[in-house]
């Protein structure tokens, strides 16, 4: 029996696992997560077949080319939860990725592995919970041939902590771990701060709009609703659009959360103080329609849960808070997990360049972290082998160490569920409830914001407390007029332009033209022939 592995795309989120010698006359080829840039036709020889696709979870970077790489009648192995979500996820992919995934073909090919499957009577595949996102799984493979039995754990993106009640990755006894090297040091802090900011905005009486990818929106809504319940904050949360459809598919019912799959943008913000929608950028998709309703309201708040921290969302007057929402384990968690499992070999994925190479000498195991997208043999004729950059003496020592020492004897079918738990533990999810200590209002916060009535929303405080009822001592300043806001925006823009002026000339965009005024104009002046959006050249005088 031979076991081979190679990266299937540049980002190394996808791999092709090949097993030779278990099926008569042909190899077993398993594509793990068809992410961007995967072309399985270029990976397989003319006489090779795709045996199956292992789909760990439904984040776009792990299934973007699913439709392009379905061939040879290969099943798509994944969890039943992911199968339930595929309809909504495929619609999302077809909207945002330059591809077309045939939903009918996926439905025919989708095969749940919750109770395990067997390929050719020689390879047993069992799903293990993986945390990271609702429905995410890892794969545990046991391969038998000629008296040999070897085991492989494919982690996929994972966390040890649960997510929206779905359990995290358990330890399993594996000879080879195909390990996702993606880590995140600040997720728990970001989650806690994002929940606190959202609740604070909701308590202010002015709307809070949270934007996230659909599955991240489901995750956040579940944690947020549970936090509202435990904190006795008495407010409602609306989850709208694709995220609402996924919430319904998952059959999750977090407290204080209402799913609204179809909605009118002008009305949905008045349903509850907090609204959660996707995608993560408020200038795209359904989020754009809702963001338009609040972006000019200085009392409203937008909370962006996004991995893109430099995205340009244009002009706005509302409060904007952005949090990186990347649910991966810390580097310490990965190290502790590998020490616990103690595999003979590790094949690193989801890392590039120096971040990939830093893993090479990190563990007491053979670590494969190649730069090239070449096919490497990890196991040959009964022996695990080392890459060329590991010296023979070191390789023998590492393999001898892992053979002599085993920390666990766990098989994934024993005592673990892939389904969501009945109760969500905020502490286990990574939320520090003790830090959400600002005061609660003396009455429930109900639906009091109307985007069409013209009524002024309640002021919001920025010190973590709820806005107080105005009195002679604490009356807040009157909201700035639209004209004042325009002038302040113009001044800020001029300050930016001033920094860019060269010794000779610079260019500037005319922001606004009226019968009497132009924001920027040529030296010889006049508004004749100038319109908003024109680009003009401004000369700079010399002394």
Q: Is the pLDDT of residue 413 over 80?
A: no
Q: Is the pLDDT of residue 391 over 90?
A: no
Tens digits of per-residue pLDDT, 15-36? 999 999 888 888 999 999 999 9
Sign of the alpha-carbon dihedral angle for 339, 343, 344, 345: negative
Tens digits of per-residue pLDDT, 195-240? 999 999 999 989 999 999 999 999 999 999 999 999 999 899 999 9
Q: What is the pLDDT of residue 94?
A: 55
167 and 61 housed in the same domain = yes
Q: What is the DSSP string of 171-234?
A: P---SEEEEE----SSHHHHHHHHHHHHHHHHHTTS-EEEE--HHHHHHHHHHHHHHHHHHT--
Q: Beginning with the edge strand found earlier in the chain, give each strand of the sheet holding 76-78 in spatial order.
A: 110-112, 76-78, 52-54, 26-32, 15-23, 2-7, 376-380, 383-384
- Asked if residue 422 belongs to a domain, the reply is no
Give dist(CA 233, CA 203) in Å, integer. 8
- Asked if residue 269 belongs to a domain, the reply is yes
- Asked if residue 313 belongs to a domain, the reply is yes
Residue entry with tokens 């200085």: 298
- Asked if residue 345 belongs to a domain, the reply is yes
Give dist(CA 225, CA 245) in Å, integer. 17
Q: What is the pLDDT of residue 448?
A: 46
Most confident by average pLDDT, 25-39, 350-364, 399-413: 25-39
202 and 276 housed in the same domain = yes
Banded model confidence at residue 472, pLDDT cuts 50, 70, 90: very low
Banded model confidence at residue 543, pLDDT cuts 50, 70, 90: very low
Average pLDDT over residues 366-384: 90
18 and 35 housed in the same domain = yes
49 and 131 housed in the same domain = yes
Banded model confidence at residue 346, pLDDT cuts 50, 70, 90: very high
54 and 168 housed in the same domain = yes
Q: Tokens in use for 235?
A: 């407010």
Q: Tokens in use for 446?
A: 């109900």
Q: What is the pLDDT of residue 415?
A: 63
176 and 257 housed in the same domain = no
This model's pTM is above 0.85: no
42 and 161 housed in the same domain = yes
317 and 334 housed in the same domain = no
Quote the percentage of the chain above a pLDDT of 70.
75
Mean pLDDT of all residues belonging to the chain: 82
- Asked if residue 242 belongs to a domain, the reply is yes
Average pLDDT over residues 336-346: 92
Domain that residue 29 falls in: 2-184+328-404
140 and 48 housed in the same domain = yes
Contact status, residue 37 vs residue 375, Cβ threshold 8 Å:
no
- Asked if residue 24 belongs to a domain, the reply is yes
23 and 172 housed in the same domain = yes
Q: Which CATH number do you get for residue 198? A: 3.40.50.10890
Q: Is the pLDDT of residue 149 over 90?
A: no
Q: Which CATH number do you get for residue 111? A: 3.60.15.10
Q: Is the pLDDT of residue 527 over 80?
A: no
Beta strands in 43-147 (DSSP E): 52-54, 76-78, 110-112, 117-119, 123-129, 137-145
Tens digits of per-residue pLDDT, 448-463? 455 543 444 444 333 3
Q: What is the pLDDT of residue 261?
A: 92
Helix (H, G, I), strand (E, B) or coil at 296: coil
Average pLDDT over residues 476-491: 62
Total tally of structural domains belonging to the chain: 3
Q: What is the pLDDT of residue 97?
A: 55
Average pLDDT over residues 384-399: 77
Tens digits of per-residue pLDDT, 160-194? 999 999 999 998 889 999 999 999 999 999 999 99
Comparing C-alpha atoms, which of 394, 368, 366 is closest to residue 4? 368
Q: What is the pLDDT of residue 18?
A: 96
Q: Is the pLDDT of residue 420 over 90?
A: no
Phi, psi for residue 210 in degrees, rounded to 5:
-105, 130
- Asked if residue 80 belongs to a domain, the reply is yes
Tens digits of per-residue pLDDT, 298-327? 999 999 998 666 677 888 999 999 999 999
Domain final residue, candidates 355, 389, 404:
404
Contact status, residue 196 vs residue 323, Cβ threshold 8 Å:
no
236 and 349 housed in the same domain = no
202 and 221 housed in the same domain = yes
Q: What is the pLDDT of residue 485?
A: 65
Report, in angstroms and rounded to the nearest whole number, the Rg of the chain calculated over CA atoms.
28
Give dist(CA 334, CA 171) in Å, integer. 11
Banded model confidence at residue 270, pLDDT cuts 50, 70, 90: confident
Contact status, residue 168 vs residue 161, Cβ threshold 8 Å:
yes
- Asked if residue 152 belongs to a domain, the reply is yes
Average pLDDT over residues 75-93: 86
- Chain centroid to Cα 3, Å, comes to 31
């Amino acid at each position: 029996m031979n076991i081979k592995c190679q990266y299937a795309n540049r980002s190394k989120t996808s791999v092709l696992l090949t097993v030779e010698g278990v099926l008569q006359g042909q190899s077993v080829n398993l594509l793990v997560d068809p992410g961007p840039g995967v072309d399985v036709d270029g990976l397989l020889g003319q006489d090779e077949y795709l045996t199956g696709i292992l789909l760990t979870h439904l984040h776009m970077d792990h299934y973007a080319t699913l439709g392009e790489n379905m061939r040879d009648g290969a099943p798509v192995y994944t969890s039943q939860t992911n199968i339930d979500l595929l309809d909504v996820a495929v619609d999302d992919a077809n909207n945002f990725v330059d591809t077309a995934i045939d939903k009918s073909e996926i439905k025919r090919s989708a095969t749940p592995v919750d109770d395990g499957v067997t390929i050719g009577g020689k390879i047993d595949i069992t799903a293990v919970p993986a945390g990271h996102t609702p429905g995410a799984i890892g794969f545990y493979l046991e391969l038998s041939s000629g008296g040999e039995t070897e085991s492989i754990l494919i982690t996929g993106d994972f966390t040890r902590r649960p997510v929206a009640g779905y359990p995290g990755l358990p330890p399993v006894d594996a000879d080879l771990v195909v390990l996702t090297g993606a880590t995140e040091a600040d997720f728990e802090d970001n989650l806690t701060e994002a929940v606190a900011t959202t609740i604070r905005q909701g308590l202010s009486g002015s709307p809070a709009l949270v934007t996230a990818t659909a599955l991240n929106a489901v995750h956040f809504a579940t944690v947020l609703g549970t936090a509202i319940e435990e904190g006795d904050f008495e407010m409602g949360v609306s989850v709208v659009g694709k995220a609402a459809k996924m919430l319904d598919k998952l059959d999750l019912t977090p407290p204080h959360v209402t799913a609204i799959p179809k909605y009118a943008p002008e009305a949905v913000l008045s349903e509850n103080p907090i609204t959660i929608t996707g995608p993560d950028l408020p200038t795209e998709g359904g989020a754009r329609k809702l963001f338009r309703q609040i972006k000019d309201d200085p009392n409203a708040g937008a909370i962006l849960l996004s991995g893109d921290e430099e995205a340009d969302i244009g002009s706005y007057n509302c409060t904007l808070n952005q949090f990186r929402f990347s649910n991966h384990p810390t580097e310490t968690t990965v190290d502790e997990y590998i020490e616990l499992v103690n595999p003979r070999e590790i094949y690193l994925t989801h890392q590039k360049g120096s971040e990939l190479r830093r893993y090479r000498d990190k563990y007491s195991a053979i670590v494969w972290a190649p730069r090239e997208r070449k096919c490497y043999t990890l196991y040959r004729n009964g022996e695990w082998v080392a890459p060329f950059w590991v010296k023979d003496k070191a390789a023998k020592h590492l393999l001898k160490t892992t053979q002599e020492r085993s920390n666990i004897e766990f098989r994934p079918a024993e005592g673990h569920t892939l389904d969501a738990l009945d109760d969500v533990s905020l502490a286990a999810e990574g939320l520090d409830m003790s830090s959400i200590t600002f005061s609660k209002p003396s009455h429930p916060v109900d639906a009091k914001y109307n985007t069409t009535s013209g009524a002024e929303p309640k002021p919001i405080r920025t010190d973590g407390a709820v806005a107080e009822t105005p009195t002679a001592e604490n009356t807040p300043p009157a909201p700035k007029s639209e004209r004042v806001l325009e002038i302040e925006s113009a001044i800020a823009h001029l300050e930016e332009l001033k920094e860019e002026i060269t010794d000779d000339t610079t260019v500037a965009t005319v922001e606004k033209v009226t019968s009497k005024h132009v924001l920027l104009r040529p030296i010889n002046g006049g508004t004749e022939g100038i319109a908003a959006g024109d680009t003009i050249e401004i000369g700079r005088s010399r002394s």
